[in-house]
Amino acid sequence: MPSILLVEDEPDMQRGLRDNLEFEKYEVDIAGDGRTALKMITEGAYDLIILDIMLPAMSGLDVCKQVRQQGITIPIIMLTARGEEIDKVLGLELGADDYVTKPFGVRELLARVKALLRRTEGTAGGGQEKMVLGLLEIDFASYAALRAGQPLSLTPKEIEIMKYFWHHRNKTVSRDELLTNVWGYDQTISSRTVDNFILKLRQKIEDDPANPRYLLTIHGVGYKLIA
């Protein structure tokens, strides 16, 4: 699942776009202001950014400029306002890849997201579909895993868990977050199940599962993948 950061401050737009993007099987994070967005982009690993220009704290144009100055090449689609032609020109000059003018049809935006992801597949964003961590390699697209060059047997669910951690690496991920994002709203799965999955994963990916180096427990909160 490609992951998208939606940077937008209007709650209705956040909700509407998130629903539509998730329906198309994208993973969506939301930032409500420019400064938060910049932090999330720097720390996270997104495949694409949808960036509104009019934002609190820091404008979308400034976010775009800083992202590109840091050498981050994640594709960016700007949301510009009708009549603000200058923003569109400036956005593209600052390194945005595409733009959509508000008010827009959600179909148009989805088409542009899809086209841009196809265009930049495998070239931008930092290799979203593949994780390399120490001796461990996981190809999320083909569900194949290697450890020190040898095939490693991970179940599809284990690979999905690793993918979620990889997209949120170096951040604490709560059990609830994992439940919601990896299992969906399956009521039969409890947080105890999550813990059991993590224990099994450690047996497979850690040199010393009792003293994990990659998949750490954050007591009272959840887990963190160190990368």
Interface residues with Ca ion (CB under 5 A) are 9, 52, 54
The helix-helix angle for 85-93 and 60-69 (nearest 10°) equals 10
Rounded to the nearest whole angstrom, what is the least distance from the CB of residue 120 to Ca ion in the complex?
Answer: 25
Q: Please check whether residue 210 is in contact with residue 194, taking contact to mean a CB–CB distance below 8 angstroms.
A: no
Alpha helices by DSSP H, listed for the chain, are 11-23, 34-43, 60-69, 85-93, 106-120, 156-167, 175-178, 191-205
Nearer to Ca ion among residue 84 and residue 129 (C-beta): 84
Rounded to the nearest whole angstrom, what is the least distance from the CB of residue 23 to Ca ion in the complex?
Answer: 22
Quote the tokens at residue 21.
């993007």
Nearer to Ca ion among residue 54 and residue 179 (C-beta): 54
Burial code (b: 16+ CB inside 10 Å, e: under 16) for 26-47 equals bbbbbbbbbebbbebbeebbbb
The β-bridge partners of 10 are none
Rounded to the nearest whole angstrom, what is the least distance from the CB of residue 3 to Ca ion in the complex?
Answer: 22
CB-closest chain residue to Ca ion: 54
Nearer to Ca ion among residue 21 and residue 78 (C-beta): 78
Q: β-pairing, 3-7 with 144-147?
A: unpaired
Rounded to the nearest whole angstrom, what is the least distance from the CB of residue 51 to Ca ion in the complex?
Answer: 10
Rounded to the nearest whole angstrom, what is the least distance from the CB of residue 35 to Ca ion in the complex?
Answer: 14
Nearer to Ca ion among residue 9 and residue 177 (C-beta): 9
Nearer to Ca ion among residue 62 and residue 129 (C-beta): 62
Query: If you write DSSP's letter for every residue of 139-155 in order, what string do you get?
Result: ETTTTEEEETTEE----
